[in-house]
Structure 1
Amino acid sequence: MDFDDDAELDSSQVDDRRGMSRGGLAVGGGAVGVVGLLIALFFGIDMTGGGDGGSPAGPAASGSQDVRGDCRSGADADARTDCRVVGVVNSVQEYWTSEFKAENRRYETAKTVLFTSRTQSACGTADSDVGPFYCPGDKEVYLDVGFFRELTSRFGAKGGPFAQAYVVAHEYGHHVQDLLGTMDKVGDDRRGADSASVKLELQADCYAGVWARHADSTPDEKTGRPLLDKVTPADIDDALDAAAAVGDDRIQQGSQGRVDPDTWTHGSSAERKRWFTTGYRSGKPASCSTFG
């Protein structure tokens, strides 16, 4: 996955809170908690996101740096993890803006909040232990970029830039569901292999695949050129590997030595891969019919 070096990034779509005071709150550990990963929609938010592996955050994790000043071009997105997040957020929202327009709908832009360890959201405290999530209360995505490293080291995903992109695209899939009213279908049906919660997560995986299909062909509104130069088969493999790494069955087998489908909230590794592939192959949101 490569960005157009001359592409202009819109950092206003990302709220960088890294290094900000956390108001005396205790700072949690950087590791992704297994219990947190198994929670889904318990408080009305997605606690685990798509999950992915990725390259270490490197210089992007420093609180002394800010995407508003440092992430300006596609070259920056290729060089730094946090700038890559900005670029993917821009690309994903360019696609959904155009898709909504084609359906005579208005897409509402959502910000991604970058934080370190802990911050506040309308859905409660955003903590690194629960991984990336979308909060419908403020319509924002929350992400500690250290999550990419944890998914690689603890959950065995191969990682890579497009695995990181998959995480972001999955969370924006939840934003799309929020705008379309799909989240209302979940209600109290939040656990089990055939639950509405699982269907919601698999649909977000499918929406991520739809974006991936169009990622290197959706033109930037300002330049008329796509932000991404090319998405390769290797990129898609990295996304599929990331999706499989956070399947409920794989997480349960690794954390407790057994699999209990009655407690699933996100779907199996095979299902997550299948629905991402469905979206990618069709390139059409209508194909993401996880609710039937």
Structure 2
Amino acid sequence: MTFNEGIRIDTSTTSASGGRGGGRGIAVGGVGGLVIVLLALFFGINPADLTGDGDPAAPGAQQNAPEFEHCKTGADANKYVECRVIATGNSVDQVWTSLLPGYQRPQLRLFSNVVDTRCGQATSDVGPFYCPADQTVYIDTSFYQVLVDQFGSSGGPLAQEYVIAHEYGHHVQNLLGDIGKAQQGVQGAQGNSVRTELQADCYAGVWAHHASVTQAPGSDKPYLEPLTDKDIADALSAASAVGDDRIQEAATGRVNPESWTHGSSEQRQHWFTVGYQTGDYKRCDTYNARDLDNG
């Protein structure tokens, strides 16, 4: 997926490096973090000991975004990964503003190695995630290469953009009052954690449906050019790469649905496709779906 070169990038909600310490919450959507959590459970280690979640109050260096001054247009988004992340966030915001009355933009923070948030401290190992406590999406762009090298995903632009749209999907859940369901009820393959993540996949698909027709502010063009079959294949590749079954088998050599948190590769692809084909976020009601494999 290619950005229209003339659109303008808005960096006003973007910051870099550290985060805001203090408070306590539950971060959701960490894709790479599944490896950490699964290995921790398999070997009987507290995941907080690996991610640093046990020390949420340690403050990080908070910076504004002067390093993003080169991120001005769609041409920059096509050239630089950090600009592509910010422009994708702009696009997702614009789509949800048109779909959801009262939508409020989240903050976006790009970081490297470690970041302090109101959900606790996290390292790059947890992958991209959303913290409801500070309404911020956290992205370490080095994860995109991990997605290719360790998870076997396509490296195409929509594979990267799908990840961002998924995390913004958690923000939509937060605005709708649904995100707390992830910690309620039964867990495992049919549990609310999986249903929460699959709904975020579906919301990412909704964004993809509208991305090339939702006009960018101050422009007569949308942020993105029309999707190609290859674009969709890239997104589905990323969704499949981070399925619980695939990650578990790679990490431990076995699959245990009782410990699933994000859903299988097939489920993640299915729910992205539901959102993409319908463009209707109300069709993403995974919490009431009887069959998560078929909607």
Shared fold, TM over 0.5: yes
Give the structure 2 partner of residue 97 of structure 1.
Answer: 97
Q: Deviations over 1:86-123 (max 9, x none)?
A: 110000000001111xxxx2111111100010111110
Give the structure 1 partner of residue 170 of structure 2.
Answer: 174
Give the structure 1 partner of residue 119 of structure 2.
Answer: 123
Report the alpha carbon displacement of residue 66 of structure 1 after superposing the two structures with TM.
Answer: 4.9
Report the alpha carbon displacement of residue 187 of structure 1 after superposing the two structures with TM.
Answer: 3.1
1:152 aligns with 2:148: yes
Q: Is the 8 A contact 1:202 1:290 kept in 2?
A: yes
- Of 244-253 and 66-75, the range deviating more from structure 2: 66-75
Report the alpha carbon displacement of residue 68 of structure 1 after superposing the two structures with TM.
Answer: 2.9
1:282 aligns with 2:281: no
Give the structure 2 partner of residue 74 of structure 1.
Answer: 74
Distance in 2 between residues matched to 1:208 and 1:191, nearest whole Å: 23
Distance in 2 between residues matched to 1:243 and 1:269, nearest whole Å: 6
Report the alpha carbon displacement of residue 259 of structure 1 after superposing the two structures with TM.
Answer: 0.3
Distance in 1 between residues matched to 2:170 and 2:185, nearest whole Å: 17
Structure 2 residue aligned with 1:247, among 224, 243, 249? 243
Q: Is the 8 A contact 1:12 1:68 kept in 2?
A: no
Distance in 2 between residues matched to 1:36 and 1:269, nearest whole Å: 18
Give the structure 2 partner of residue 267 of structure 1.
Answer: 263
- Residue identity in the other structure for 1:12: S
Q: 1:26-105 alignment to 2 at 5 Å?
A: 35-36=35-36, 38=38, 66-100=66-100, 105=101
Q: Is the 8 A contact 1:189 1:197 kept in 2?
A: no
Give the structure 1 partner of residue 253 of structure 2.
Answer: 257
Distance in 1 between residues matched to 2:222 and 2:13, nearest whole Å: 17
1:15 aligns with 2:15: yes
Q: Deviations over 1:183-220 (max 9, x none)?
A: 13233436300000000000000000010011100011
Structure 2 residue aligned with 1:232, among 224, 228, 235? 228
Distance in 1 between residues matched to 2:13 and 2:79, nearest whole Å: 19
Identity of aligned residues (%): 47
Gap change, CA 1:117 and 1:220, over 3 Å in 2: same
Distance in 1 between residues matched to 2:109 and 2:198, nearest whole Å: 23
Distance in 1 between residues matched to 2:131 and 2:33, nearest whole Å: 19
* Paired residue total: 255
- Residue identity in the other structure for 1:3: F
Distance in 1 between residues matched to 2:185 and 2:137, nearest whole Å: 23
Distance in 1 between residues matched to 2:215 and 2:154, nearest whole Å: 29
Q: Is the 8 A contact 1:6 1:73 kept in 2?
A: yes
Structure 1 residue aligned with 2:131, among 129, 135, 138? 135
Distance in 2 between residues matched to 1:187 and 1:151, nearest whole Å: 26
- Residue identity in the other structure for 2:78: D
Q: Is the 8 A contact 1:13 1:90 kept in 2?
A: no
Give the structure 2 partner of residue 112 of structure 1.
Answer: 108
TM-score by length of 1: 0.82
Gap change, CA 1:191 and 1:36, over 3 Å in 2: farther
Distance in 2 between residues matched to 1:172 and 1:11, nearest whole Å: 16
- Residue identity in the other structure for 1:70: H
Q: What's the RMSD between the two structures over aligned residues?
A: 2.2
Q: Is the 8 A contact 1:13 1:89 kept in 2?
A: no
Q: Is the 8 A contact 2:203 2:272 kept in 1?
A: yes
TM-score by length of 2: 0.82
Gap change, CA 1:33 and 1:212, over 3 Å in 2: closer
- Residue identity in the other structure for 1:200: T
Distance in 2 between residues matched to 1:90 and 1:235, nearest whole Å: 19
Distance in 2 between residues matched to 1:81 and 1:68, nearest whole Å: 11
- Of 89-98 and 224-233, the range deviating more from structure 2: 224-233
Give the structure 2 partner of residue 4 of structure 1.
Answer: 4
Q: Is the 8 A contact 2:68 2:83 kept in 1?
A: no
Determine helix, strand or coil for the equivalent of 1:155.
coil
